[in-house]
Amino acid sequence: MLSLKLLILFFSTPSFGLDNGLGLTPPMGWLSWERFRCNTDCLNDPDNCIGEKLFKDMADRMVADGFKDAGYEYIIIDDCWLNHTRDANHRLQPNQNSFPNGIKALADYIHDKGLKFGIYEDFGTKTCGGYPGSEYYLQLDAQTFADWGVDYLKLDGCYSNPNQYDDAYPAMSMWLNYTGRPMIFSCSWPAYQGGKSDYAKLSKYCNIWRNFGDIQDSWSSVSSIINIYGKNEFHFAEAAGPGHFNDPDMIILGNFGLSHDQERVQMGMWAIMASPLIMSNDLRAIRDSSKRLLTNKAVISINQDKLGKQGTRIIVKGNVQVWTKPLYDNGLAFAFLNFGNAVPSKLTIKISDLGLKDTNGYLLNEVFEDIPLGKFSPTSTLTTRVNPSGIYLVRATPIIKS
């Protein structure tokens, strides 16, 4: 069998790079994995298993409860949807008991809601859950997904050789282009290389990519991801931009492991980090407070800012961190984080130390509660208190003088 590198060289069209025009801002949607894992017991647990009812329910709630209006649009199946064997023509097929009407019918249902449909596969011989993988079937699987009406493909990396990824993921990108159907391409390329990958190359072939391991439903998991992104060891932040973003994994608001302040931290920091806002929760039973955070349009507007810059950490002082994110209007979003676990921390900072140096000044607004803070010049100082495991999120808009 030809190597993936040679296979790519045989094709001059379409373009080798990902050419779908998608993901110009971070994708927003819902994915099953963190909340529902690999529950395939649809006989005894039909409401929570990986089956068509679950995804129809989530699509219904996405529309009825205002998530679609807030910008969430993808409903994505993760692992464990597959039959354990391919069909007689080597095509992937779903578990017939869990998806009795097939994947195309489910995609049609989701499209009829005005939403988009995503699915999971794996580059390796098997998915992480042990189902058929796409290795040796990249072209066939890409065309199958297109035929089903898939709008988003998450391609994992279990049961494979990470040394092949520099050829494997570009090959799948090529075959997705070849179908003619635009699909967001979510890669796990760097996650299986310890985060040390060629990010300039990644950005040519993937719309989003997972850098590290799966998020868990806990504050320790969320805070560790934030600190990994703050360290930015492999300079992956610089690779982010319209059409290609780093993915620190799913939004877990509304589950079990975070306090209200910690939920604010995840939502605010995923906005600052220009991260995909892909929820994994039960929209049928979500707390009102979590729903308000998830649909907060001021926070989402920072995440969806069309400049597409990933925010970076500029100050670490004890348990307190300061992050900034440039915005398209020449303004700035900035976040104060308190990783302490005892009492609120008082923070005073000079506005110019945040990179805000326009002598016309800035209008500052606290984002979560939409509180105007007033006009600030570069020489002004801002003083506030930040709760333990909490965030203070501010947007600075430049004052334009006529």
Each residue's pLDDT tens digit, 225-263: 999 999 999 999 999 999 999 999 999 999 999 999 999
* Arithmetic mean of pLDDT, 349-374: 97
**Backbone angles phi and psi of 376, in degrees to 5:** -130, 140
CATH of the domain at 355: 2.60.40.1180
Residue located via tokens 């409903």: 75
Q: Please give the average per-residue pLDDT across 203-229, as a whole number.
A: 97
Residue 11 has pLDDT above 50, yes or no: no
Task: Check if the beta carbon of residue 182 is closer than 8 Å to that of residue 145.
Answer: no
Of 122, 151, 156, 249, which residue is the catalytic one? 156
| Domain that includes residue 144, residue range | 4-303
To the nearest whole percent, how much of the chain has pLDDT over 70? 96
- Are residues 287 and 343 both part of a single domain? no
Q: Residue 384 is encoded by which pair of tokens?
A: 């506030």
Number of domains in the chain: 2
- CA 369 distance to own-chain centroid: 24
In the chain, the percentage of residues whose pLDDT exceeds 90 is: 94
| 65 among known catalytic residues | no
Q: What is the pLDDT of residue 68?
A: 98
Nearest CA among 227, 206, 229, 215 for reference residue 154: 206
Could you say which of 41, 45, 69, 214 is catalytic? 214
Residue pair 165/198 in contact by the 8 Å Cβ criterion: no
What is the per-residue pLDDT across 92-128, written as a single tens digit (0 to 9) for each?
Answer: 999 999 999 999 999 999 999 999 999 999 999 999 9
Claim to verify: residue 292 and residue 394 sit in the same structural domain: no
Does residue 67 sit in helix, strand or coil? Answer: helix
Cα 369 from Cα 27, distance rounded (Å): 24
pLDDT of 341 > 80? The answer is yes
pLDDT score recorded for residue 6? 39
Do 360 and 251 share a structural domain? no
Structure-token pair, residue 97: 């008991």
What is the pLDDT averaged over residues 329-355?
96
pLDDT at 13: 40
Instruction: Decide if 261 is catalytic.
Output: no
Q: Which pLDDT score, from 0 to 100, does residue 401 have?
A: 86
244 & 369 share domain: no
Q: Does 341 lie in the same domain as 206?
A: no
Q: Which of 274, 303, 332 is the last residue of a domain?
A: 303
Average pLDDT, the chain: 95
Task: Give the model's confidence band at 16: pLDDT under 50 very low, under 70 low, under 90 confident, else very high.
Answer: low
